[in-house]
Amino acid sequence: MVSIKDVAKKAGVSVGVVSKAFNNYPDVGKETRKRIMDIAQELDYSPNRIARNLSSKKNSAISLISSGFEENDQKDNNSFELFKGIYFGSQQLNLDFSIYFTDSFKQQEQSYVQFCRERNIGGAILQGIKLDDPFFKEMVDTNVPCVLIDVVMDEPQSCVGSVTIQNRKATEDLTAYLIERGHRDIAIMAGTKEAYVNEERLKGVQDALLKHGLTFEDKMLFYADFDDQQAYEKAKTYLKTHRPTAFVCLSDLMAYGVMKAAQELGLSVPEDVSVVGFDNSMIAGMTTPTITTIAQDFFEMGRQSALLLNRIVNGESKENEIYLNYELLERESVQDFTNSDRKEHES
Amino acid sequence: MVSIKDVAKKAGVSVGVVSKAFNNYPDVGKETRKRIMDIAQELDYSPNRIARNLSSKKNSAISLISSGFEENDQKDNNSFELFKGIYFGSQQLNLDFSIYFTDSFKQQEQSYVQFCRERNIGGAILQGIKLDDPFFKEMVDTNVPCVLIDVVMDEPQSCVGSVTIQNRKATEDLTAYLIERGHRDIAIMAGTKEAYVNEERLKGVQDALLKHGLTFEDKMLFYADFDDQQAYEKAKTYLKTHRPTAFVCLSDLMAYGVMKAAQELGLSVPEDVSVVGFDNSMIAGMTTPTITTIAQDFFEMGRQSALLLNRIVNGESKENEIYLNYELLERESVQDFTNSDRKEHES
DNA sequence: CTGTTAGCGCGTTCAA
DNA sequence: TTGAACGCGCTAACAG
Per-residue confidence (pLDDT) for residue A194, from 0 to 100: 86
Q: How far apart are CA A130 and CA A68, in angstroms?
A: 10
Q: How far apart are CA A65 and CA A196, in angstroms?
A: 17
Q: How far apart are CA B110 and CA B135, in angstroms?
A: 9
Q: Strand order of the sheet with strand A246-249?
A: A221-223, A186-190, A246-249, A274-276
Superfamily of domain covering B4-45: lambda repressor-like DNA-binding domains (1.10.260.40)
- Least CB-CB distance to A119: which of B44, B49, B83? B49
On whether any CB of chain B is under 8 Å from the CB of A298, the answer is: no
Nearest to B278 by CA among B306, B248, B258, B315: B248
B146 bridge partner residues: B124, B160
String of DSSP letters for A138-171: HHHHTT--EEEES---SS--TTEEEEEE-HHHHH
B60 CA, C2 C1': Å apart: 28
CA angle A139, A95, A317 (to 5 degrees): 60
Fold of A167-296: Rossmann fold (3.40.50)
Is A54 buried (19+), middle (13-18) or exposed (0-12) by CB count in 10 A? middle
Report DSSP state, residue A210.
H
pLDDT tens sequence for chain A (347 residues): 889 999 999 999 999 999 999 999 988 888 999 999 999 999 999 999 989 988 987 778 999 998 876 655 555 678 888 999 999 999 899 899 999 888 755 555 788 999 999 999 999 999 988 888 899 999 999 999 999 999 999 999 999 999 999 999 999 999 999 999 999 999 999 999 988 999 999 999 999 999 999 999 899 999 999 999 999 999 999 999 999 999 999 999 999 999 999 999 999 999 999 999 999 998 999 999 999 999 999 999 999 999 999 999 998 888 999 999 999 999 999 999 987 554 444 43
Start-end of H helices in chain B: 4-11, 15-22, 30-43, 49-56, 69-72, 78-92, 112-118, 134-141, 167-180, 196-211, 228-241, 252-264, 298-313, 342-346
CB distance B77–A81 less than 8 Å?
no
Directed axis angle between helix B49-56 and helix A49-56, to 10°?
A: 120
CB distance B98–A97 less than 8 Å?
yes
Q: How far apart are CA A244 and CA A88, in angstroms?
A: 44
Q: How far apart are CA B251 and CA B228, in angstroms?
A: 9
CB B260 within 8 A of CB B269: no
pTM over 0.75: yes
Q: What residues does each domain of chain B span?
A: 4-45, 60-165+297-324, 167-296
Nearest to A323 by CA among A346, A305, A342, A345: A305
Helices (H) and strands (E) in chain B, counts: 14, 12
> For chains A and B, what is the number of CB pairs under 8 angstroms?
100
- CATH number for A60-165+297-324: choose from 3.40.50.2300, 3.40.50.1950, 3.40.50.720, 3.50.50.60: 3.40.50.2300
CB distance B288–A283 less than 8 Å?
no
Q: Which residues sit close to strand C, CB under 7 Å? A: A 1, 3-5, 15-16, 19-20, 22-23, 45, 47-48, 51-52, 54-56, 58; B 12-17, 20, 27-33, 51, 54-55, 57
CB B246 within 8 A of CB B187: yes
CB B47 within 8 A of CB B22: yes
Question: pLDDT tens across B166-193, in order?
Answer: 999 999 999 999 999 999 999 999 999 9
B29 touches strand D (CB under 7 A): no
Q: How far apart are CA A101 and CA A109, in angstroms?
A: 10
Per-residue confidence (pLDDT) for residue B159, from 0 to 100: 94
Nearest to B183 by CA among B334, B32, B7, B29: B334
For chain A, the farthest-separated pair of C-alpha atoms sits apart, in whole angstroms, at: 87
Q: How far apart are CA B28 and CA B225, in angstroms?
A: 60
- For chain A positions 172-201, those within 8 Å of chain B (CB to CB) are none
A114: chain B residues, CB-CB within 8 Å: 44, 46
Measured over the CA atoms of residue A26, residue A30, residue A36 and residue A40, the dihedral's sign is: positive
Nearest to A44 by CA among B70, B42, B265, B116: B116
Total number of residues shown for chain A: 347
Q: How far apart are CA B259 and CA B233, in angstroms?
A: 11
